[in-house]
Structure 1
Amino acid sequence: MNSYYKTCPYPKPATKKKKRKQNGWKDKPKRHCYYTGRPYAERHELFYGNPLRQISISHGFQVDLCMPIHKLFHGIVDKEKLESLNVPGMLPDPLKWAANELKKLRQVCQRDYEDQAQIELGLTPEQARDGWMQLIGRNYLDD
């Protein structure tokens, strides 16, 4: 910081806002859709909302999806494009399928997180579950 600002009656604050994490676009050609295998997949954070999106990015709670399926996970249905993908079980109700798949993926994330906490940190299952609850705030395995 410039010495001028240190002598001002109201100096500039030394701290800055924390930079938000975001998914990179540089490696997009290398990503493939989890369901179809198509290239140029987009990253979808499994937990979203203000703090949860950043937590999802830091812990890798993400899945790569092609554009039509990514839009479907956000509630936008384009039946023509979805029919051409030939994903089993998606039709006739794609929104219900997307909700079920999102729940399954969240359960997998929670199970993996708790298993990893038990192995690496030597926690009991109850302690691992408490750690998950402090991180995400909701239990997806007992629903």
Structure 2
Amino acid sequence: MAKSIMQTGKYCYLCSRTTGIEEHHIYFGSLRRISEKHGFKVWLCADHHRGNNGPHQRRVIDLLLKKLCQRKFEKTHSREEFMKIIGRNYLDD
């Protein structure tokens, strides 16, 4: 299991809560293993993970996390590397 490329601590990425947190794979579904391998994950409180204001219920939050993760990855890797791993570009630039 790779550590998150997004966070060093164990707190909700969206609200900073430190209790009741759960691991969220940013690219989930068929890409869950890839997220695990490359550290494309964040900690979220239960409300932000499984609740109505989380990435599984709100597409805008899902896309925000995907964009932030891609931007973080591209600080040390190329866009081409990201596209090879994920198969899609989430950034507008």
- Could you say which TM-score interval applies, normalised by the shorter chain? 0.7 to 0.9
Larger-Rg structure: 1
**Of the candidates 70, 79, 82, which is equivalent to residue 129 of structure 1?**
79
Tell me how far apart the structure 1 counterparts of residues 68 and 56 of structure 2 sit (CA, whole Å). Answer: 20
Query: Contact 1:47–1:53 at 8 Å: present in 2 too?
Result: yes
Unaligned runs of 5+ in 2: 2-8
Partner-residue secondary structure (3-state), 2:76: helix
Tell me how far apart the structure 2 counterparts of residues 110 and 44 of structure 1 sit (CA, whole Å). Answer: 15
CA shift in 2, pair 1:129/1:99, >3 Å = same
Once the two structures are superposed, what CA deviation does each residue of 1:35-89 show, in whole Å capped at 9, x if it has no partner? 2332130011110122x101111211111111122113323xxxxxxxxxxxxxx
Tell me how far apart the structure 1 counterparts of residues 71 and 12 of structure 2 sit (CA, whole Å). Answer: 22
Partner-residue secondary structure (3-state), 1:44: strand
Query: Contact 1:31–1:42 at 8 Å: present in 2 too?
Result: no
**Of the candidates 2, 23, 47, which is equivalent to residue 27 of structure 2?**
47
The normalised TM-score by structure 2 is 0.73
CA RMSD of aligned residues (A): 2.1
Q: Which has the higher contact order (CA 8 A, sep 6+)?
A: 2
Tell me how far apart the structure 2 counterparts of residues 138 and 111 of structure 1 sit (CA, whole Å). Answer: 13
Give the partner amino acid of 1:131. Answer: E
Query: Contact 1:31–1:40 at 8 Å: present in 2 too?
Result: no
Give the partner amino acid of 1:135. Answer: I
Does residue 140 (structure 1) correspond to residue 90 (structure 2)? The answer is: yes
Residue 106 of structure 1: CA displacement? 1.0
Tell me how far apart the structure 2 counterparts of residues 63 and 100 of structure 1 sit (CA, whole Å). Answer: 16
Residue 31 of structure 1: CA displacement? 2.8
Task: Flag as ranges the 4+ runs of structure 1 deviating above 4 A.
Answer: none
Equivalent residue pairs, number: 82
More helix by share: 1
Query: Contact 1:32–1:66 at 8 Å: present in 2 too?
Result: yes
The normalised TM-score by structure 1 is 0.50
Unaligned runs of 5+ in 1: 1-20, 22-29, 76-97, 118-127
